[in-house]
Amino acid sequence: MTMFSRDHVSPFLGTLRYPRSGPEEVVAAMTWFVHCFYGSRRYGQHTLNQESSSKVSERPPFDRSSSQDSLDEVSMEAYWTELENIKRSNENRQEGQEAIVVKEPDEGELEEEWLKEAGLSNLFGESIDDPQESILFLSTLTRTQAAAVQKRVETVSQTLRKKNKQHHIRDVRDIFAQQREAQEKSPDDSDLRSVRTNEDKGQGKDDQPSSGAVDSKEQISRVPEDTPASETDINLEVSFAEQAVNQKEFSKERTQKISGNDSLPSFRLPKDKTGTTRIGDLAPQDMKKVCSLSLIELTALYDVLGLEFKQQKAVKIKTRDSGLFGIPLTILLEQDQRKVPGTRIPLIFQKLISRIEEGSLETEGLLRIPGAAMRIKNLCQELEAKFYEGTFNWESVKQHDAASLLKLFLRELPQPLLSMEYLKAFQAVQNLPTRKEQLQALNLLVILLPDANRDTLKALLEFLQRVIDNKEKNKMTAGNVAMVMAPNLFMCHTLGLKSSDQREFEMAVGTANVMHLLIRYQKILWTIPKFIVNQVRKQNIENQKKERKAMKKLLKKMAYDREKHEKQDKTANGADVPQGVIRVQAPHLSKVSMAIQLTEELKASDVLARFLSQESGVAQTLKKGEVFLYEIGGNIGERCLDDNTHMKDLYQLNPNAEWVIKSKPV
């Protein structure tokens, strides 16, 4: 076997260590290293699905020193080891699991599914004669979002015409013309104006959407930028796609490249006086609108950047309906909720993380060093039989065994944790030109994940960050952890796909980078952008106007009586609640109602403190962190407020809201 000195390997390591070089140079360096170091015996002529005849022990030994070079070598070796584990998992898959067959979609089929998921199914098909609901929806979209929708509707319309469908195929231009007319005729009422005014406050000169049509087919050949390592505010008040258009127009001369993982920029959330909205803060009906808008925004962002965004649709497969490993997350949670009502993360997943942390997170090589294969297999069988009975002996599970079981759990999911629909979209994030745009895309993709997948991913990323926090002892830097974990999230064993050497190399670099971004920016990724929340507010206002108009036509006399009655109530309430005062309800606390004077400095945390100060000592301690102030009604369904929300600013944004203190639903 040819041996290489440190001088031979150093050029490769210099490129690999999260380089300033582009992805092509990284792939080239990886190709050179693997082919030279391991020879064509393993990588030159075989694919991932070949028989596992080579042993790990046959590979050249690494210097296990604490040097960074050693860590980089180890992390690369760990990546390929993880791929071998996935391959063996494919070969020894349990009965009842089948490979997912990815159907090649018919022309227009993906666009039709996209429109359905975006809540715009009545822009085509039999319901197209009554598109009023969609016209209201379209009236709240940005220019780039509307362009993305129009592009998909045109594709579906052309496809339906080719197929000679019987139902009426309306010209898409008529629909968008109606939407523009509705916007021109609609009065700019005070509620909608308050949302627009608040939105404009965060839209600085550099963020103004540019004029002119968007050519979604235009390929923007921009070289990735090298973002400085200093803290940078991430703009959540202006559409990401509109920012990309603006950046394209004002940054045509840029020549810098994306920097490596070691110099990821420190993005931070800017202070928002109306409060930061996180996933889980909104009512289900509003969250559904958020998901529709996020899909449209993500597609618009890819269109502006000249990249193709396509969801992947998987055929349903047969899976076991009970057990622990190889069980769909939804079924697993149904089992768990019978044991622990309200649980949102699989119990076995929680227990494995807990077992790893019972040992020391300072253990060197944690997550990288595998447990013994036969022992892992026996532990799986024993867990399947005894976990829910509570008779499993956790003392027999070593720390590295628990880590291997955790990764096995992720690999054996019938559909990937990042979802079959969006797995390729997550992988494609690496192709976006700048770190900021990669972060924006990941933010939207996290929002689009099913609840069970998103909650489990959050628990995983928080755990991985705790491992990285001990990197001085365990030698597991963010890059090393990303390299080890990437195959477990991005290589879906049920796909049964073969891949070339070049594809494997690209996956190794690209998915590890995306994994690193997920870990590094997890606190930002679970935030709902303010511009999307404002669009939800606008949709609610438009729907309320539509409902009031319909009610007025049908029940003129009753509407007159109701308005007279409401006017009298308003006068009475005005005497009870003076100008600049809100009444906060707390039905589950000792003080059930309180009038609060609005000031520039008053925050949601101050309102909570006033109520909790009325509680007895023990009750006060129990209530902290268990109850929250909610904004309910007006232009939002329901929204849990963060502690730093300035109440006066929010009141100006939603003057018709009610304010209620209550606990979060489980």
- pLDDT, average across residues 378-403: 94
274 domain residue, yes or no: yes
Predicted confidence at residue 433, as pLDDT, reads: 92
Q: Are residues 271 and 305 in the same domain?
A: yes
pTM score above 0.85 = no
Predicted confidence at residue 131, as pLDDT, reads: 59
Query: What is the helix (H) or strand (E) element at residue 628, kind and residue range?
Result: strand 627-633
Q: Report how far apart, in Å, the C-alpha atoms of 599 and of each of 93, 229, 511, 520 are.
A: 63, 37, 48, 37
> What does the alpha-carbon distance between residue 514 and residue 229 come to, in Å, rounded to a whole number?
18
Binned at pLDDT 50, 70 and 90, residue 171 comes out as low
Structure tokens at 502: 């070049």
Predicted confidence at residue 660, as pLDDT, reads: 96
Predicted confidence at residue 170, as pLDDT, reads: 55
Exposure string over 139-178, b if 16+ CB within 10 A, otherwise e: bbbbbbbbbbbbbbbebbbebbeeeeeeeebeebeebbeb
> What does the alpha-carbon distance between residue 584 and residue 593 come to, in Å, rounded to a whole number?
6
Asked if residue 77 has pLDDT above 70, the reply is no
- The 3 state secondary structure assigned to 237-288 is CCCHHHHHHHHHHHCCCCCCCCCCHHHCCEEECCCCCCCCCECCCECHHHHH
> What does the alpha-carbon distance between residue 331 and residue 321 come to, in Å, rounded to a whole number?
7
Binned at pLDDT 50, 70 and 90, residue 626 comes out as confident
At 448-464, the pLDDT tens digits run 999 999 999 999 999 99
Residue 23, classed as helix, strand or coil, is helix
Q: Are residues 585 and 636 in the same domain?
A: yes
Lowest mean pLDDT among 60-64, 142-146, 342-346, 419-423: 60-64
Q: Are residues 528 and 423 in the same domain?
A: yes
Q: Cα angle vertex 517, ends 511, 518, to 5°? A: 90
Alpha helices in 92-171 (DSSP H): 109-117, 132-138, 143-162
21 domain residue, yes or no: no
Q: Kindly tell me the number of DSSP H helices and DSSP E strands found in the chain.
A: 26, 7
Asked if residue 278 has pLDDT above 70, the reply is yes
Binned at pLDDT 50, 70 and 90, residue 2 comes out as very low
Q: What percent of the chain has pLDDT over 70?
A: 62
- pLDDT, average across residues 508-514: 87
Of the residues 558, 592, 618, the one at which a domain ends: 558
- pLDDT, average across residues 364-373: 89
54 domain residue, yes or no: no
Lowest mean pLDDT among 118-122, 274-278, 423-427, 602-606: 118-122
Single-letter code of the amino acid located at 82: E
Asked if residue 169 has pLDDT above 70, the reply is no
Binned at pLDDT 50, 70 and 90, residue 183 comes out as low
Predicted confidence at residue 178, as pLDDT, reads: 57
242 domain residue, yes or no: yes
Q: What percent of the chain has pLDDT over 90?
A: 44
Determine the structural domain holding residue 592 and report its residue range: 578-665
Single-letter code of the amino acid located at 434: T
Structure tokens at 595: 């009038």
- pLDDT, average across residues 112-121: 86
1 domain residue, yes or no: no
Q: Are residues 432 and 511 in the same domain?
A: yes
Q: Are residues 442 and 499 in the same domain?
A: yes
Asked if residue 217 has pLDDT above 80, the reply is no
Which of 73-87, 92-106, 523-537 shows the highest mean pLDDT?
Answer: 523-537
- pLDDT, average across residues 398-413: 94
605 domain residue, yes or no: yes
Binned at pLDDT 50, 70 and 90, residue 130 comes out as low
Q: Are residues 451 and 541 in the same domain?
A: yes
Predicted confidence at residue 59, as pLDDT, reads: 39
Q: Are residues 547 and 429 in the same domain?
A: yes
Q: Are residues 503 and 621 in the same domain?
A: no
Q: Are residues 454 and 516 in the same domain?
A: yes
Predicted confidence at residue 499, as pLDDT, reads: 54
Name 494's Cβ contacts closer than 8 Å, sequence gap at least 6: 97, 98, 99, 100, 317, 414, 415
Which of 124-133, 304-313, 411-420, 623-632 shows the highest mean pLDDT?
Answer: 411-420
Asked if residue 419 has pLDDT above 50, the reply is yes
Q: How far apart are the first and last CA of the chain?
A: 59
Lowest mean pLDDT among 430-434, 576-580, 644-648, 654-658: 576-580
- pLDDT, average across residues 468-489: 92
Rg (CA), the chain: 28
65 domain residue, yes or no: no
Predicted confidence at residue 319, as pLDDT, reads: 78
Q: Report how far apart, in Å, the C-alpha atoms of 160 and of each of 165, 175, 303 are.
A: 6, 17, 23
> What does the alpha-carbon distance between residue 408 and residue 386 come to, in Å, rounded to a whole number?
18
Predicted confidence at residue 563, as pLDDT, reads: 58
How many domains are there within the chain? 2
Q: Are residues 434 and 514 in the same domain?
A: yes
Which one has a higher pLDDT value, 590 or 362? Answer: 362
Q: Are residues 145 and 288 in the same domain?
A: yes
Structure tokens at 320: 């076991």
Which of 91-100, 150-159, 643-652 shows the highest mean pLDDT?
Answer: 643-652
- pLDDT, average across residues 604-609: 94
Report which of 73, 79, 30 is spatially closest to residue 484, judged by C-alpha positions.
79
Q: Are residues 427 and 542 in the same domain?
A: yes
> What does the alpha-carbon distance between residue 577 and residue 284 come to, in Å, rounded to a whole number?
31
Predicted confidence at residue 310, as pLDDT, reads: 76
Kindly report the CATH number assigned to the domain that includes residue 659.
3.10.20.90
- pLDDT, average across residues 487-508: 65
78 domain residue, yes or no: no
Predicted confidence at residue 21, as pLDDT, reads: 41
135, 178 contact by CB (below 8 A): yes
Binned at pLDDT 50, 70 and 90, residue 325 comes out as very high
